[in-house]
C-alpha cells in the first residue's frame, strides 16, 4: 500500500519536474527565436497585415499584463507575508524575501514558508500567534492575491476582471495545479 503511494508521489514529482523543464526550454527558445517565429507566422498567415498587427499587439498587451500581474503578486505576497510574520514575532525581512521567491512556485509556494513558521510557533508555545498566522495566511494573504492580481492584469490588457478570473479558473480546471500558471498565460 505505502510502496504504491510512494511510487505515485515520486511519479508526480518527476512529471512536474519534466513539465517544468519543457516549459523553461520552450520559454528559452521562444525568447531566443521569437522574432524569427513571428516572421514565419506572418508569412504563413492568410490574414491582412492590419489584422496580423492587431493580433500581435493584443498578444503583446496580454503578455505584458500577465507578467505585470506576476511581478505584482511576488511583491505583494512578500509584503503581506512579512507583515504577518512580523506580527507573529518572526523575522519579517528574511522570510518575506524568501516568500517572494517561494510565491513563484505554483500550488505549494507560500506553504514552504508558512507551515514551518506555524510549526515553530507551536513548538515555542505561541499557540495564539500560530492561530493568528494561520488565519492571516488563509484570509488576508489568500484574498489579497485573488483580488489584486486580476486588477493589474486587467489594467494593462484592458480586459474585464471576470474574463481574467474565468481564464485562471479554466486553466486550473483543465490542467490541474499547473493550470494555475498555464491559465494565466495568453
- In this model, does residue 30 exceed pLDDT 50? yes
- In this model, does residue 123 exceed pLDDT 90? yes
Query: Among 7-11, 67-71, 97-101, which stretch is predicted with the lowest mean pLDDT?
Result: 7-11
Read off the pLDDT band of 100 (50, 70, 90): confident
Task: Decide if 51 is inside a domain.
Answer: no
- In this model, does residue 122 exceed pLDDT 90? yes
Asked if 68 and 36 sit in the same domain, the reply is: no
Asked if 86 and 40 sit in the same domain, the reply is: no
Asked if 72 and 150 sit in the same domain, the reply is: yes
Q: What is the count of structural domains for the chain?
A: 2
Asked if 89 and 173 sit in the same domain, the reply is: yes
Asked if 66 and 90 sit in the same domain, the reply is: yes
Name residue, grid cell 506553504.
111
Asked if 17 and 102 sit in the same domain, the reply is: no
Read off the pLDDT band of 132 (50, 70, 90): very high
Asked if 80 and 117 sit in the same domain, the reply is: yes
Domain enclosing residue 26, as ranges: 1-44
Read off the pLDDT band of 177 (50, 70, 90): low
Asked if 105 and 73 sit in the same domain, the reply is: yes
Cα→Cα distances 92→11, 42, 95, 107, Å: 35, 50, 5, 22
Mean predicted confidence (pLDDT) in 140-146 = 75
- In this model, does residue 99 exceed pLDDT 60? yes
CA dihedral 19, 22, 114, 140 (to 10 degrees): -90
pLDDT of residue 182: 43
Stated pTM of the model = 0.58
Asked if 28 and 106 sit in the same domain, the reply is: no
Mean pLDDT, the chain, whole residue set: 75
- In this model, does residue 152 exceed pLDDT 70? no
Amino acid at each position: 500500500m505505502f510502496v504504491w503511494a510512494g511510487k505515485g508521489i515520486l511519479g508526480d514529482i518527476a512529471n512536474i519536474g519534466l513539465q517544468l523543464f519543457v516549459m523553461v526550454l520552450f520559454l528559452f527558445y521562444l525568447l531566443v527565436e521569437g522574432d524569427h517565429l513571428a516572421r514565419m507566422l506572418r508569412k504563413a498567415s492568410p490574414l491582412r497585415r492590419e489584422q496580423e498587427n492587431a493580433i500581435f499587439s493584443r498578444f503583446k498587451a496580454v503578455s505584458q499584463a500577465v507578467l505585470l500581474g506576476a511581478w505584482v503578486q511576488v511583491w505583494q505576497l512578500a509584503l503581506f507575508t512579512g507583515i504577518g510574520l512580523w506580527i507573529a514575532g518572526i523575522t519579517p525581512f528574511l522570510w518575506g524575501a524568501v516568500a517572494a521567491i517561494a510565491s513563484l512556485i505554483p500550488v505549494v509556494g507560500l506553504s514552504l514558508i508558512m507551515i514551518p513558521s506555524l510549526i515553530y510557533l507551536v513548538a515555542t508555545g505561541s499557540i495564539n500567534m500560530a492561530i493568528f498566522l494561520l488565519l492571516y495566511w488563509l484570509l488576508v494573504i489568500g484574498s489579497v492575491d485573488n483580488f489584486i492580481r486580476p486588477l493589474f492584469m486587467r489594467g494593462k490588457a484592458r480586459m474585464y476582471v471576470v474574463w481574467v478570473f474565468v481564464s485562471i479558473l479554466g486553466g486550473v480546471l483543465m490542467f490541474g495545479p499547473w493550470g494555475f500558471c498555464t491559465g494565466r498565460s495568453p
